[in-house]
Amino acid sequence: MKEIIRAAIVIGRRDLTAIIFSKAFILFLLGPLFPVIVGVAAGALGGQIKQDSDKPTVGILMSEQDTMRLLAVRSQLAEQVGQGWYPELRSIGKQDEKSGTQPGKSPREYLTDKKNSLVAVVSGSLENPKITATQSEADRNDDEIAMLIGYAKSGQSTQLPKVDMEIVTKSASGAKKGQQVTGQLAQVIMYFLTVLLTGMVLSNLVEEKSNKIIEILAASIPIEAVFVGKLFAMLIMSLIGITIWTGTGISGFALLASSLPLDAIPAPAVGWPVFLILGVVYFTMTYLMLGALFLGIGAMAATVREVQTLSMPVTMVQLIIFFFSAYTVTQLDQPIEQFAAIFPFSSPFAMIARAAQMPTLWHHAVAVIGQAFFTVLLLRIGVHLFKRNVMKSGAGGAKNTAKKRKLFGLIPLPR
Amino acid sequence: MIHAIEARGLVKIFDGFRAVDGIDLNIPEGSIFGILGPNGAGKTTMLRTLLGIIDPDEGTRSLLGSQKPISQSRNVGYLPEERGLYQSMRAVDTIAFMGALRGMPLKAARDKGRMMLDEAGLGYAADRQIKQLSKGMAQTVQLIGTIVHDPKLIVLDEPFSGLDALNQAKLERMIRAQAEKGVTVIFSTHVIAHAERLCERIAIIAKGKISFDGLVSTARDRLRPQVHLETESRDGPWRGALPDDCRVEGNWWHFTLPESGVEPLLTALVEGKAGVKSLSIERPGLHDAFVAIAGEAVAAEMDEEMAEALL
């Protein structure tokens, strides 16, 4: 075991330094950021456009006194309820106080003049106000304008009364639903990271096989060490990538938003610190299990083309596992959810959803031990098949009476 | 005598084909041992089985006293027939990696690798990637990687293939230098000249079986010396002393020395007034012995197959 670990470190160190110091690693780190950056930029731009288009401006075509009173009322109320509550008001002209007529253009003309960019025009007086607008804009703004006119006309104080508030906790069903959402969110993130990162393991032994280095490795160290070293090198590389992406995402959020929207995500049952740790642990376990499986499959592929052909069914398998696990989120403690928690490939997904909904921790210790054992089993199977099919080691059709036969080198078989 | 490698009844079968077919072998420690055989004889398969790269289907093997060859990997250096290097790795890092695989600390392996590259005249290329080196330089790097950790046993599979004459000479010097330090060196080849120059003992393998295992001199002695005789006359009573299958080229007579030896031949030539102008007796080389021994094995196998077919 000591020798396997030592040799695995040699292999892992070589692989990791070869990857990290290659130009391709920069592209690997930037790759997922491109859609995120594009999405954030598009969202911000779209939001800005929406905000601008949702900021209606109403022109005031009244006497100077009425106009001033309306503007003052609007400003005082907006300070208390927010700028978006009432439409923007802008004086566009003065009405003759004696004749009641507007010198210059009519309200309709002001409205249709693109330079003004108005959604409506309020004319007349505070006693007899008139709104000129399209039907939709009139429906949208008439109540707010009427409220402002009401305050301005009556002269009542615009100081809104102070209201005491008592915040209550959410209802039990609301909390449960929220935690399910948290669990599902964690599953989706884990799934996307897994699909993004484990596929690379498929082709991990191609270089050694095509360059014939595998013979040097096989003569020097146990093949198990090659598998373990490569798997952990890829895991560390993936974790580095996730750390950088997460850090970039958090920094981006902090810059663009006033605060991180963590309050919007319902708190998991085990609490955020434990939940995040379990998230990392379960991602690691699902990566190791799938990585061990893919390493074994990819190790037997003869060419890069075969590896590429294998990628599609492998992704389909991951999708099925994810859908199955996602279905069981709402079936907590039901037989199907328990099966998902026990079945090794779906266990990490099911357990992270459990962590969101149940505070029990010992379940997770048992699950992680089971997943670790399954990873070891997958590695042994992969090594056995690799030795048999690629290295052509093992029984080649002749009876080996000298050695005790063992299934996958682990379980003794009767003679 | 302590053996670096021992094998008893070694068999390896690939899809029903017996690539190694019941091999018994003892390779003494501290010797230069050659494994000769035609293409497809099973040399590489046998070496891989002995080194633990693949497991035998029957028989036993031990490497430096251990039945688990991988456990002795720190004491073994192996250069495979199909050279394999990471193309993007620097030369010195490649050597360090190979040393680390065999248990050396990485820094020590790197420092020693740099020193050995200097000694081999490749110090300037230490920081170049393998893909930037010529084939000969890359092979030298791999050879250094094979011995950087000071192994007790060095196994080289077709080490001379692909090397020019200068590099072949360098490799021969390296093999001798290692042997002088007490290292056991085993190499396989189908170019007999190298084995003849370097080896004390050889094994000739053909069709998966060992046809000969012993000293080079013993292999040579399997064939009788060749006589090259030039005479003044072309006929006479002395002709009876020559074997019937003697080859004639003008006044030259080429034949295998009779079992009776050289003295009766000389007596017959002198008394028969043959007029001997030139007489040389040539001891057969290892090449001739190899062709004869390997050829016998192939012929014997063909006879067996024909006999089985007739039955």
Q: What is the mean pLDDT of residues A1-30?
A: 89
Q: What is the pLDDT of residue A103?
A: 59
Domain limit, last residue, from A126, A154, A182: A154
CATH of the domain at A77: 3.40.190
**A120-124, strands of its sheet edge to edge:** A88-94, A57-62, A120-124, A129-133
Higher-confidence residue of A400 and B237: namely B237
pLDDT the model gives residue B11 = 92
Q: Which of A7, A22, A391 lies at the smallest CB-CB distance from B54?
A: A391
Tens digit of each residue's pLDDT (9 = 90 or more) over B216-231: 888 888 778 888 889 8
Strand A57-62 versus strand A88-94 pairing type: parallel
A406 close contact with B: CB closer than 8 A: no
Find the residue in A nearest to B100 (Cα).
A10
Q: B58 — contact with chain A (CB < 8 Å)?
A: yes
Q: State whether A371 and A237 are in the same domain.
A: yes
Selecting from A22, A211, A387 the residue whose C-beta is nearest the C-beta of B84 gives A211
State whether residue B53 sits within 8 Å of chain A by CB: yes
Task: Report the chain A residue with the minimal C-alpha distance to residue B76.
Answer: A220
Contact at CB, B85 and A395, closer than 8 angstroms: no
Cα of B94 to nearest chain A Cα, Å? 10
- Whether A211 and chain B come into contact, CB under 8 Å, resolves to yes
What pLDDT shows up at residue B24? Answer: 93
Strand-pair partners of B29: none
Which of A116-130, A159-173, A364-378, B197-211 is modeled with the greatest confidence? A364-378
Q: With an 8 Å Cβ cutoff, are B88 and A208 in contact?
A: no
| Reported confidence tier of residue A395, pLDDT bands at 50, 70, 90 | very low
| CA B152 – CA B76 distance, rounded (Å) | 6
Q: What is d(CA A145, CA B206) in angstroms, rounded to the nearest whole number? A: 105
Q: What is the mean pLDDT of residues A81-96?
A: 81
Let me know: does A89 contact A74? Beta carbons within 8 Å: yes
ipTM of the complex: 0.81
Does A286 lie in the same domain as A319?
yes
Partner A contacted by B14 (CB < 8 A): yes
Q: Does A214 touch chain B (CB under 8 A)?
A: yes
Mean pLDDT, residues B122-151: 93
Q: What's the rounded mean pLDDT across residues B144-171?
A: 90
Q: Do A396 and B15 touch (CB under 8 A)?
A: yes
Residue A349's pLDDT is 93
Residues A227 and A117 in one domain: no
pLDDT per residue as tens digits for the range A144-157? 899 999 988 888 77
Q: What is the pLDDT at residue B292?
A: 77
Residue B82 pLDDT more than 50? yes
Give the pLDDT confidence score for residue B197 in this predicted structure: 87
In the three-class reduction of DSSP (H, G, I as helix; E, B as strand; rest coil), residue B33 is classed as strand
Domain boundaries, chain B: 3-220, 224-282
Interface check A391 vs B, CB under 8 A = yes
pLDDT at residue B78 greater than cutoff 90: yes
Selection from A109-113, A262-266, B146-150, B209-213 with the highest mean pLDDT: B146-150
Q: Are residues A234 and A107 in the same domain?
A: no
Pick the CATH number of B3-220 from 3.30.70.2660, 3.90.79.10, 3.40.50.300, 3.40.50.150: 3.40.50.300
Average pLDDT rounded to a whole number, residues A363-382: 93
| pLDDT higher than 60, residue A405 | no
Q: What total number of domains does chain A contain?
A: 2
Query: How far is the CA of A250 from the CAs of A184, A197, A254, A257, in angstroms?
Result: 20, 21, 6, 10
Last residue of a domain, one of A154, A186, A210: A154
CB < 8 Å to A13, chain B: 106
A212 touching B (Cβ < 8 Å):
yes
* B57–A contact, CB cutoff 8 A: yes
Q: Which residue range is the domain that position A140 belongs to?
A: 55-154
The answer to whether residue B187 scores a pLDDT higher than 80 is yes
Write the CA distances from A112 to A34, A59, A130, integer angstroms: 42, 12, 17
In this complex, do B78 and A208 lie within 8 Å of one another by their Cβ atoms? no
Q: Do residues B70 and B52 lie in contact, with contact meaning Cβ atoms separated by under 8 Å?
A: yes
A408 against A321, higher pLDDT: A321
User: CB–CB of A396 and B51 under 8 A?
Assistant: no
| Chain A nearest CA to B84, separation (Å) | 4
Backbone φ and ψ of A83, nearest 5°: -70, -25
- The two beta strands, A406-407 and A411-412, are antiparallel
Are residue A78 and residue A186 in the same domain, yes or no? no
Q: Look at B100 and A213 and tell me if their CB atoms are within 8 Å.
A: no
- Answering whether pTM is above 0.80, one says no
CB-count burial class (<10 Å; 0-12, 13-18, 19+) for A325: buried
What pLDDT does residue B285 have?
A: 80
Residue A50 lies inside a defined structural domain of this protein: no
Strands B17-28 and B3-14: antiparallel
